[in-house]
Structure 1
Amino acid sequence: MYKGRFINRKGTPDSNMEASCKTETSRQKTPTVELSGATQLPQSTNCLACSEDGRYLGLGHSQGLAVWCASSLVCVAEWLQDRVEIASIQMTRMAETAYLLGTVDDMGVARVFVYHCEGIHLLSVINVMENINERRICSTFEVSGGGDYGAASISCNGALWLEVYHFPSGAWVTELEMARSQKQDPNSSGDEDVKWSPVAVVIKIKPPKIPAGAPLDGPLEVLQVTDFLTHCLALDVDTSSCQREEHASNTDAGKTNASPRRCTHHFLLPCGQVPGGRKAKPQSEGLPVAVCVWWSGSRNLLQYLLGKGSKNKPDVDPMPDVLWPNAKEILCSAVSRCTRYIALGLNDGLVCVWDRQSGSLLSVVLVSGTDGALFRMQFVDYWPVSADESQTFTAAEVHLLALCKSGAIHAVTTGRGTPSCTMQLSERPKHSRDLPTVTASVPFLQSLSLVMQRNGKMFLQDAINKTTVCFLIPPTTHLIASPCNPVYALNTKQQTLFIKGDQDPSCSSSSKGGSQSQLFVFRFGESDIVKQHIVSPPDSRQQQETCCVTLEETCDLYLQQRAQSVDERNKAIARTWKQLQETAVMLQQRHSRAAAS
């Protein structure tokens, strides 16, 4: 029922897609695989999420949420409430039989649920609307892997900040067992008899502000470390303020209010030396130890340690523990699965990669200066490596997918001791309908990425050979739902794609009543073409264990990496000098022509 089947349709695709389906040496058509219709979805299903172990699916819809078994696609639990439409959902395994769900509804209310023993319990409402005049609206809400922390972007009356919470997962598991025993008591009223442990705010992060009287003058070498931090923040705040004023002056009369600064954050696992001389505890390797944050219009990536919120006074904004400065404005960011590497997409087509283990810059790569600003990036989980690159110090090579606002997609390969290179996977589309809306690396497919376009077309693309492996299409009676914002989930354990589809309005059978959305399934292992690309995903836990080092080992690692990269750095210096000489000659010729005229 769920197995994808190969078909050869006689239809002729548009010229742009036909060109992308052909390689340079072959004119054969790219094969297509039809997705299987599994079952009907609840009314107005807005979002899907899959647990890390691949056992369950979380669905958010117009009347609440549901949890399905990912294998049988049978609903095992529901939480229903009128006028609560879940807009986004995330699912993570908190304990052996407990799965945490973080949701945001269409009114900007964030909630924390848990699925346990075939029941869904509401544990906490993150931003309770107590005063209608001071509505705290949540725009994004993320739960860390394992369910120990959460982070929400909150806005209220034009102000925006990031709140990071600690979830009492151990206490919740105990209380869940208590609720289960009370449920078996006929005189009990269920969850109403259980008082769930409250969520604690660890840290509240606002856009950086410079304290009055901060020492910003004087030579750079004279400034202390804290003064240098304040100096970078001051430059960042000043630049952001100028950009907002310029944006406001360019708007129409009567619309001069600048949009508030957006916040992007990532949870960070233990890696390298913790600021302050402390080393991460071995038992906390799976728990986040910090959160990195950047604000729209900013050039600095800020890192804040978790677990020190109690030391901060409520009326004092926390200062970042680590600052990663960049020469250009940050437009997008991504973190590797083991969180050792942080990639930043900067203005003017630059990609900057930081190495948290050594605390230094891994590389800066120019992706493209003609395809427009960078829009989104993602680390590629698996990339083929040679046998001599399996050692720790020589394996510092990362691979990224970079999507530009123009729709062009680039593959980036960089690292310490290895030459950086970029490769354009797809050119800028000629029509807006061909713009990619999803470009996702598939962890269990070697160098393959899943691409979805505005026109509803979906395919697997080989990032090495720059070829389209196959198209994934729904049955002839259906279309991919909301292709500009598709509702889908990847099950890494079961190697399965779940995606929402709607009936095609032009199909005659759609007028016979069954207009409810369908959940389509594609099992990658059942496709002969895709099966040859399946690999075992890398073990991020093993990578984390090699990251927890002392300060002395961090210095040794940095020196070894510098020694191994000396040839590449010398080549980079030579290339830079050559470019400078060529630029100087060009400017001199231009000046001579101007003087002669």
Structure 2
Amino acid sequence: MPVYIRKNVNFTPPSLDRIPLEDEDDYITDPDQLKDPLPQPYRMIDKVLGQLVEEVWDIVESRENERLEEGRKVRPPRHENTKSLEYLRKCGCMTDSGDGLYMFIGHSKGIIVIDANTQEKVTLWEEDRVDLQYIRAHIIAPNVYLLVSIDDMGFSRLHAFSGDKLYLLKHLNEHQMPLSTRQSSRTSLQLIDKNNAVEIKPKIFLNFCHYPESRDIWLEIHKLPRESWVTELDNIKAKLQKKEEPKQEVKEVKEEESTETAEPVEGTDGEKSESQSQIQQSQSNEDTAGVKFSQPSLVFKLKQPPQVSALESRGNLSSSVYSTCQKVDSGEVIGTGQNHVLSTTQIELRKEVFDHLHENLLEYAPKDDTVDNIQDVNFHFLNAGKMIPLGLENPANLTIPTTVAVWWKDSTHVMHYSLLKTPGKDETKPDMVWPFTAKITSSAVSDETSLMIIGLVDGNIVLWDRYLGIQRGVINISDNSCIDTLLFLDPSICPQEMTEYPPYSTRTTSYLLVLCRNGAMYAVLMGAGGTQAEPICLSPQIEESGEQFSKVETVRGLPDLILTVLQNGNVQIRDVLQGKVLCEMKVPDTHEIMSPWDPVVAIGNTGQTLYLRVIEREPTETDETTTDASTPQGTVLVYPLNTFNTLETFFNRKRDSIPLSVHTTVDKRVDALMKERIAMQAFRKDRMQERWNCFKEEIWTILQYKEQAARKAEEREVYEYQHVRVFDVKS
């Protein structure tokens, strides 16, 4: 490419004399004055004010957008309470009886039993300095209920309610945790329906304690004499009935005389009824006091296993190689890693070598956490199964729990212990161990204990089928949150898969409700072919702290509904399959929910009534009225759910009970196949006629193929060989 350059062009640099002098007016000391002519400090003040106005305007605009979005939303209807139970001001916990007849209320002085329909007192049990914080009820016989309660000091008790009376059966841990040691203890209990086993979890947390050696946690399994208790209660009721017959006759005579002589006085009916109820309750307490019942028997006791950090620094404490090899696991099954052949000296030597090799990098290593966190323990009773066949030879053990599954907080193992084995004196070893790749955060077991679901910290859930002894699947629920709550839903709300063959049922389809730590709620479909790949999102991730769920539970008698309580105090009833809020409970303006993060709420009367504990709001500084500085008074609000219009369709809907897992025996399978064979005999003639017609077509097709093959054989050329040459092998 040609380049054209001018010729004879000289560049003469300017001389110093020709350079113009700098003009002071053209020199700008502040370059920002080109855009803003204001001098300092007024320019800075203007910028600060402008930025402040912009930020305020952004806040006003965001609030306006939020107000418009809230106005566009369809808010659920809010229903008011119809009754307030003032005599339950110091209620600390409540639970349903299971059959919808009674409500058991735990308060600051004992237990109150009320009728679920009329909300009237039935009986009570009182004791000084007993502030109950936990109560559960289980049916152990017709019209006989077993109550499990825990007070604020961690002491647990077993009560029996029968014949409109409460009986104290047992103090479970009164001698294990004396209050003189200034220990702040807490106990958790769980009872299994339709069996005779109970679990107890004493957890001793030491506050300003002078006995550090007692800092411990353990799990105890007790066997309850259920049949003996029922027999003893029947005998006590018979004796009390004989004593009350003459008293009742005298009482009727006195009432007749009092009605004839007494004059009506205004305003004394309520006082008389209260005094009469107090007299009856004191008499019932006197009748039930001093009665001795059969005592539970301890099956075994599990101690807290060492943590992973302790296992890394602790060696085998045996004195000889022979004793070390005896304590080591045989290796036939998966173990927990607690028993190994590494000695303490070897572990310390390895640590010294590591510190010497990486001395320059030790300052960047994370520091060890010196806080000794007390681990929590979680457990489930499991019926007999083929994974642990101990007890299957006895048919009586098929319907009762024979195994307990235990996992500890921050653990990656689920350990199974047999309840039929006699544990050793020193240690109880697990019969089976399930290892997982991440820490366990939650677990759930189906009603018949054939399915067990495990939630992990990495957002995965693992479903185990104990009947088949395999995993149904592993599903990832969330990548940025751990699993917090797992609930098995009623299979009746899920459409069942109908299969043409086999003629007997093999497996049930059901939903699993999963709640993550970030507030997201999912429903997972567990079908006959396994689990669904994509979970159904019922509620997205919640960013605001006040909108987080503090309680989620199913509604007894209404499988389509769930009860949710938010941390901001909203009590809601939701559709479990759609996640839609159907209604909310409206609290009076003068009250608020007591501890929304741990609310006292229960649903009784088979889902028809909701009970909610509220307290008075604390007065503000602008209130002119003077109030007492004592603790705010509380009450229990009653909401009739069966009168809400939004829930009418759910009450009218009828669901057939469907078992979550189907166990079809060989006899049932043979009977089903024979019935199908007999039912198909009526169509045998038609099928035979159809088959003979098919034979004619098949024979004609075969003949056609035969003729075609013969025709092709005739048309084929024939090669004839006149001379065959023979080769001599020797030549």
- Structure 2-normalised TM-score? 0.62
Aligned to 1:170: 227
**Residue type of the partner of 2:518?**
S
Q: 1:205 aligns with which of 296, 302, 309?
A: 302
Q: Does the alignment pair 1:380 with 2:380?
A: no
1:450 is aligned, of 555, 563, 567, to 563
State the one-letter code of the partner of 1:152: I
- Deviation for aligned residue 1:394: 5.8
Whether the 8 Å CA contact 2:609–2:638 is kept in 1: the answer is: yes
Following superposition, the deviation at residue 423 of structure 1 comes to 2.7
Shift in CA distance, 342/510, structure 1 to aligned 2, threshold 3 Å: farther
Q: How does 1:89-128 map to 2 (within 5 A)?
A: 89-128=135-174
Is the Cα contact below 8 Å between 2:144 and 2:161 reproduced in 1? Answer: yes
Secondary structure of residue in 2 paired with 1:289: strand
Query: Which structure is higher in RCO with an 8 Å CA cutoff and minimum separation 6?
Result: 1
Distance 1:537 1:511 in 2: 54
In structure 2, the residue matched to 1:521 is: 638
Where does 1:51-450 land on structure 2 (aligned, <5 Å)?
A: 51-129=97-175, 132-133=180-181, 137-146=185-194, 148-155=196-203, 157-183=214-240, 184-185=242-243, 190-191=287-288, 194-208=291-305, 213=324, 227-230=332-335, 249=367, 251=369, 256-270=370-384, 274-276=388-390, 278-279=392-393, 281=395, 285=399, 287-308=400-421, 311-313=422-424, 315-370=425-480, 372-382=481-491, 384-389=493-498, 395-415=507-527, 417-418=529-530, 419-445=532-558, 447-450=560-563
Cα displacement (A) at 1:306: 2.4
Report the 3-state secondary structure (helix = DSSP H, G, I; strand = E; otherwise coil) of the residue aligned with 1:421.
coil
Residue 316 (structure 1) shift? 2.8
Secondary structure (helix, strand or coil) at the match of 1:180 reads helix
- Other structure's SS at 2:535 match: strand
How many angstroms apart in 1 are the aligned matches of 2:159 and 2:583?
38
Contact 2:509 2:660 in 1 (8 A): no
Cα distance, 1:326 vs. partner? 1.8
In the alignment of these two chains, the number of paired residues is 508
> CA 1:405/1:270 → structure 2, altered by over 3 Å: closer, same or farther?
same
Aligned equivalents of 1:491, 1:90: Cα separation in 2: 13
Q: Deviations over 1:24-66 (max 9, x none)?
A: xxx5433223333342243421100111111111111111111
Q: Deviations over 1:318-337 (max 9, x none)?
A: 22233222222101111223
For residues 117-166 of structure 1, the C-alpha deviation after alignment (integer angstroms, 9 at most, x for no partner) is 22211110001236545979442111221462211112452221110111
How many angstroms does 1:317 deviate by? Answer: 2.0
Query: What is the match of residue 574 of structure 2?
Result: 461
How far 1:16 sits from its partner (Å)? Answer: 7.5
For residues 392 and 133 of structure 1, what CA distance do their matches in structure 2 show? 62
Letter in 1 for 2:441: L
Q: C-alpha distance in 1, partners of 2:105/2:539?
A: 33
Q: Is the 8 A contact 2:608 2:641 kept in 1?
A: yes
Deviates more, 1:128-137 or 1:357-366: 128-137
Q: CA deviation at 1:347?
A: 1.8
Change (3 A) 1:386 1:115: closer
- Asked if structure 2 preserves the Cα contact closer than 8 Å seen for 1:270 and 1:280, the reply is no
* Cα gap change, 1:509 to 1:332, in 2 (>3 Å): farther
User: 1:485: how far off?
Assistant: 0.8
Is residue 88–residue 636 contact of structure 2 (8 Å, CA) maintained in 1?
no
TM-superposition CA deviations, 1:274-320 (whole Å, max 9, x none): 523725636862x4332211111211212223243xx223x232222
Gaps of 5+ in 2: 1-62, 205-213, 248-282, 319-323, 341-365, 670-731
Per mean C-alpha deviation after superposition, the further-off stretch among 508-517 and 531-540 is 508-517
Tell whether the 8 Å contact from 1:382 to 1:445 is kept in structure 2 after alignment.
Answer: no
Instruction: After TM superposition, give the deviation of residue 383 of structure 1 in Å.
Output: 5.8
* Distance in structure 2 (CA, Å) of the matches to 1:95 and 1:147: 11
Task: Tell me, in whole angstroms, the C-alpha distance in 2 between the residues paired with 1:509 and 1:426.
Answer: 43
Contact residue 127 and residue 136 of structure 1 kept, 8 A: no
The separation in 2 between residues aligned to 1:136 and 1:149, in whole angstroms, is: 27
CA apart distance, 1:466: 3.9
| Change in CA separation of 1:498 and 1:392 when aligned onto 2, cut-off 3 Å | farther
Tell whether the 8 Å contact from 2:382 to 2:403 is kept in structure 1 after alignment: yes
Deviation at 1:227, TM superposition (A): 3.2
Using structure 1 for the length normalisation, give the TM-score: 0.75
Computing the radius of gyration from Cα coordinates, the structure with the larger value is 2
| Aligned: 1:473 with 2:589 | no
Equivalent position of 2:14 in the other structure: none
Alpha-carbon spacing, 1:333–1:519, altered in 2? closer, same or farther (3 Å): same
Return the offset for 1:396. 4.2
Partners of 2:470 and 2:195 lie apart in 1 by 30
Deviates more, 1:35-44 or 1:156-165: 35-44
| Partner Cα distance (1:18, 1:259) in 2 | 47
Letter in 2 for 1:302: M
Give the aligned CA root-mean-square deviation in angstroms.
3.9
SS in 2 for 1:142: strand
Cα distance in 2 between the residues matched to 1:163 and 1:440: 27
The amino acid across from 1:357 in the alignment is Y
User: 1:175: Cα distance to partner?
Assistant: 1.8
Worse-superposed segment, 518-527 or 205-214: 205-214
Higher share in helix: 2
When residues 362 and 496 of structure 1 are mapped into structure 2, their CA distance, relative to the original with a 3 A threshold, is: farther
Contact 1:442 1:448 in 2 (8 A): yes
1 CA distance for matches of 2:394 and 2:299? 18
> CA contact under 8 A between 1:330 and 1:346: conserved in structure 2?
yes
Structure 1, unmatched stretches of 5+, are 1-12, 218-222, 236-247, 554-597
Aligned pairs for 1:463-502 (under 5 A) are 463-491=576-604, 493-502=606-615
Higher strand share: 1
Aligned partners of 1:380 and 1:443 also within 8 Å = no
Deviation digits for residues 350-407 of structure 1, max 9, x if unmatched?
Answer: 111111111111111101112x222222222256333534887664444222222222
> CA contact under 8 A between 2:496 and 2:509: conserved in structure 1?
no
The percent of aligned pairs where both chains have the same amino acid is 24
Distance 2:562 2:154 in 1: 32
- Aligned match of 1:559: none
Query: What code does the residue aligned with 2:640 have?
Result: R
Q: Distance in 1 between matches of 2:64 and 2:452?
A: 39
Partner of 1:243: none
The answer to whether the 8 Å contact 1:382/1:537 transfers is: no
In structure 2, the CA distance between the partners of 1:484 and 1:198, relative to structure 1 (3 Å rule), is same
User: Are 1:414 and 1:421, in contact at CA under 8 Å, matched by a contact in 2?
Assistant: no
Q: Quick one: structure 1 residues 430 and 194, their matched pair in 2 at CA, closer, same or farther if it must change by over 3 Å?
A: closer
1:304 partner amino acid:
Y
Q: Secondary structure at the match of 2:410?
A: coil
Shift of 1:548: 8.2
